[in-house]
Structure 1
Amino acid sequence: MASVHEAHDVRLDRTVAVKIMHAGLSDSDSDHDFADRFVREARAAARLSHPNVVAVYDQGDDDGTVFLAMELVSGHTLRDTIAKESPMPPARALALIEPVLSALAAAHRAGLIHRDVKPENVLISDEQSGGQVKVADFGLAKAISADTQHTATQGVLIGTVSYLAPELVVEGRADARADVYAAGVMLYELLTGEKPHEGETPIAVAYKHVHHDVPPPSALVPGIPPYVDALVARATARDRALRPADAGVLLHQVHRVSHALDRGVRDDPELTLDLAPHLLTRERDDLDSDAALFADQRLPRDHPEPTTTLPVLGAPTTRPVPLPPRIDQRVDQRVDQRPPQAQPSGPPPRHQPPRVGPTGSGPAGRSRRSRRGPVLLVVALVLALAVGGGAFWYGWARYTAAPTVVGESRAVAIAAVEDADLQIAFAEPVYDSDVPEGAVVSADPAGGAQVLPGDVVTVTLSLGKLIVPEVRDLTEDAAQDELMAVQLEVGESIGRYSETVAADSVLGTVPKAGAELSSGDTVQIVVSLGRRPIKVGSWVGKTLEEATAALERRNLVLQTTEAFDAEVPQGTIISQDPAPGSTRFRDEVVSLVVSKGPEMVEVPRVNLFGVEAAEQALRDAGLVPQRSEEDDYYGLGFVVRTDPEAGTSVPKGSTVTIYVV
Structure 2
Amino acid sequence: MTTSQTDPMIGRLIDGRYQVRSRIARGGMATVYLATDLRLERRVAIKVMHGHLADDNTFKSRFVQEARSAARLAHPNVVNVFDQGQDSDMAYLVMEYLPGITLRDLLKDYGKLTPEQTIDIMEAVLSGLAAAHKAGIVHRDLKPENVLLADDGRIKIGDFGLARAASANTATGQALLGTIAYLSPELVTRGVADARSDIYALGIMMYEMLTGTQPFHGEQPMQIAYQHANDPVPAPSSVNPAVPPELDELVLWATEKDPDRRPSDAREMLDRLLEAEKSIRGDAVVQPTMVLPPAFDIADGDTQIINPAIRQQVASSTPTATDTLTEAARRRRGKGWWLFALVLVLAAVAGGTGWYFGSGPGSFVTVPNVVSQAPATAAAELTNLGFKTAQAQEYSVTIPAGQVSSTDPKAGASANRGSTVTIRVSKGPQPVTIPALAGQNVDAAKAAITATGAKVGDVAQQFDAKVPANTVISAARASDGSDISGGGGYFQAAAVNLVVSVGPIPDVSGKTVSAATAALEKVGLHTTAGPQSYSDTIDKDDVISAQPQSQPVRPGDTVALETSRGPQPVPVPDVVGQTWDKAKAALQAAGFQLKYSSAADLLPGAFVVSKVSPDAGTQAPKGSTVTVNFAGF
The answer, yes or no, to whether TM exceeds 0.5 is no
TM-score, length of structure 1 as denominator length: 0.40
Max Rg structure: 1
